[in-house]
Amino acid sequence: DKASEFVAWYDWAVLRKHALGKFSSMLYAAVRHPAMLIYLDNHVNSKDSPNENLGRELMELHTVGVGNYTEQDVRHSALLLTGHSFDWKKRTYRFNESEHHVGRVKVMGFTHSNAKGEGPAALKAYLSYLAHHKATARHVARRLAVRYVSDNPSDAFVERLAKVYLAKDTSLAAVIRALLLSDEFATSVGAKWRRPQE
């Protein structure tokens, strides 16, 4: 795997660090982490040769989910992510201004002038928009409900958790607390099993 050497670091610096913090903070850390940049080829995403891998997966897997965006949204997501790369010598995130697409971008309901020098600010605003989107709230809530309660959680339960997520500014701790204190969790004993590595 092309990013395998960064997996343990990603687990420590992104997942464990933000697991009980805000999803918005976790998302920002994840997208700028070398493991994500390399694994999804964003280190080669440039204005002259846009690569859509991270732009698409950011929406499909990490935030709003399938059915909530168009191919045009994917294109603009990729353009916004151009130039967000990796410094091989320092082994850290690096923004390459010369590789960044400049010009207005529109992804779903998000728009940004993305003028020269605004690349990092545009990325931060875009990720905040995605993290606070209602579809992301439902996506995150459903994944947690599936992991801890049922393979087929009710829409009502997912919606309750999503409301907590939005009301508490993307707080994962608040969502987990609501989940663990729910009747659905209390009656799920025996419905979920530990995976072998657990």
**Could you report how far apart the first and last alpha carbons of the chain are, in Å?**
23
Residue 193 pLDDT exceeds 90: no
Residue 190 pLDDT exceeds 90: no
Express as a percent the part of the chain with pLDDT over 90: 87
Note the pLDDT tens digit of each residue in 110-138: 999 999 999 999 999 999 999 999 999 99
pLDDT band for 45, please (50, 70, 90 cuts): very high
Q: How many helices (H) and strands (E) does the chain have?
A: 11, 4
Note the pLDDT tens digit of each residue in 138-184: 999 999 999 999 999 999 999 999 999 999 999 999 999 999 999 99
pLDDT band for 8, please (50, 70, 90 cuts): confident
Burial 164-196 (b: 16+ CB within 10 A, else e): bbbeeebbbebbbebbeebebbeebeeeeeeee
Which amino acid is present at 144? L
Strand positions, DSSP E, the chain:
84-87, 92-95, 105-107, 110-112
pTM over 0.85: yes
Distance separating alpha carbons of residues 139 and 118, to the nearest angstrom: 29
Partnered with residue 47 across adjacent β-strands are none
Neighbours of 9 (CB within 10 A): 14
Q: What is the pLDDT of residue 176?
A: 98
Neighbours of 32 (CB within 10 A): 22
Distance separating alpha carbons of residues 79 and 99, to the nearest angstrom: 10
Express as a percent the part of the chain with pLDDT over 70: 98
Distance separating alpha carbons of residues 143 and 11, to the nearest angstrom: 18
| Residues contacting 161, CB < 8 A, separation 6+ | 141, 144, 145, 175, 178, 179
Mean pLDDT in the chain?
95
